[in-house]
Amino acid sequence: MQFRLLAKDNKTKARCGEIATNHGIIPTPAFMPVGTQATVKALTPSQLKETNAHALLCNAYHLYLRPGEDVVKKLGGLHKFMNWDGAIITDSGGYQVFSLSRLTKVTDDGVEFQSPIDGSRRFLDPEKAMDIQHSLGADIIMAFDECLPYPCEKDRVKQSMLRTVKWANRCQSAHNSEDQDLFAIVQGSVFKDIREECADRLVEMEFSGYAIGGLSVGEGNQLMNEVLEYTVPRLPTDKPRYLMGVGFPLDILDGIEHGIDMFDCVIPTRNGRNGCAFTVEGKLKIRNERYKLDERPLDEDCHCYTCKNFSRGYIRHLLTANEILGLSLMSLHNICFFEKMMEMARQSIIDGNFSEFKSNFLSLQ
């Protein structure tokens, strides 16, 4: 992987660049749709290509439980398995272990948990997380970390941060794939001194990139921005910075303003499946009765397949009739909206007017 900065905004910390991977270039700032189980729900790889998505996020935890990383490896690795020739990032599964599993027992050795699929007892540690991701074959893989809920007591956060740093060191030692780049994850909840210590320790280890985890878990936009304000400057300028699991337009644009390069979230597809379309004029809840006879597209400024071919009235009919096509068309449009937003953000950074773009964009939301 190679990261190259192309431009910096004049008034903010926003920056534009590109990440070169074995499966193509990722222009940054980048939004990565989430394909948790090796699929972005309701969309085909060719549809995703139409959205101008350059990278996808898949989850090692889910693929480890089903179908198993060995199955994916025997079928050619994630790229061949899901027929996606762009870049792929895999999350180590730390967040999912703590948020989805029952009867979780955490020690410095690793995590023992009960599978939410079949109830079997499993054990995941940094070495196993690396083995799983090596088998999956993503371009960028993540260190195993402990992600805590919000709010959380400071003593517990400190203990968790130290454990995350130890696990990152173990992941680095176990990482033996020259075709994959390993990112570390900065934790520390909303405590400045703990976040800064975590960032400093991880930077000393010299990973290929750095993610900020443990946000968008209920702390709110103001606290998220405070954490970014003091965390991002401690990360190297010559390596990618990744804000994990953050996906509303306001939060993404705030992240870009702080110098974040990469984002992922299920927001576009989950909201789409639930009948909420993102448009330049704000959210549109298409199930509303007033759209029953509406001949307009979801977004008159959008040129995606959905907006070029179907009316609001038709898409509302599909959703109220529980037709699968409705889920697909809504998800496709929303990802197109997010990718277009990122494209405009990149251009505004190149032009030196990101602040104006952000203000104008959000004023319509």
Catalytic residue among 9, 91, 139, 299: 91
| DSSP secondary structure letter of residue 68 | -
In this structure, are strands 15-21 and 30-33 parallel, antiparallel, or unpaired? unpaired
The residues, ordered by sequence, that sit 6+ positions from 203 with a Cβ below 8 Å of its Cβ are 210, 234, 235, 236
Specify the residue for token string 């946000």: 215
Q: What are phi and psi of 362, to 5 degrees?
A: -75, -25
Catalytic residue among 9, 139, 254, 264: 264
Residue 30 and residue 263 in contact, taking contact as beta carbons nearer than 8 Å: yes
Q: Is 91 among the catalytic positions?
A: yes
How far apart CA 59 and CA 185 sit, in angstroms, is 15
- The answer for 296, left when phi > 0, alpha when psi is -120 to 50, beta otherwise, is beta
Q: What are phi and psi of 138, to 5 degrees?
A: -70, 160
Specify the residue for token string 């303003």: 257
How far apart CA 36 and CA 230 sit, in angstroms, is 30
DSSP string, 118-174: T--EEEE-HHHHHHHHHHHT-SEEE-------SS--HHHHHHHHHHHHHHHHHHHHH
Task: Collapse the DSSP code of 113 into the 3-class scheme (helix H, G, I; strand E, B; otherwise coil) and give the result.
Answer: strand
How far apart CA 28 and CA 19 sit, in angstroms, is 7
Residue 278 and residue 249 in contact, taking contact as beta carbons nearer than 8 Å: yes
Instruction: Count Cβ atoms within 10 A of the Cβ of residue 182 and give its class: 0-12 exposed, 13-18 middle, 19 or more buried.
Output: buried
Q: Which amino acid is at 202?
A: L
Which pair of structure tokens corresponds to residue 317? 């009919």
Which residues are known catalytic residues?
91, 264
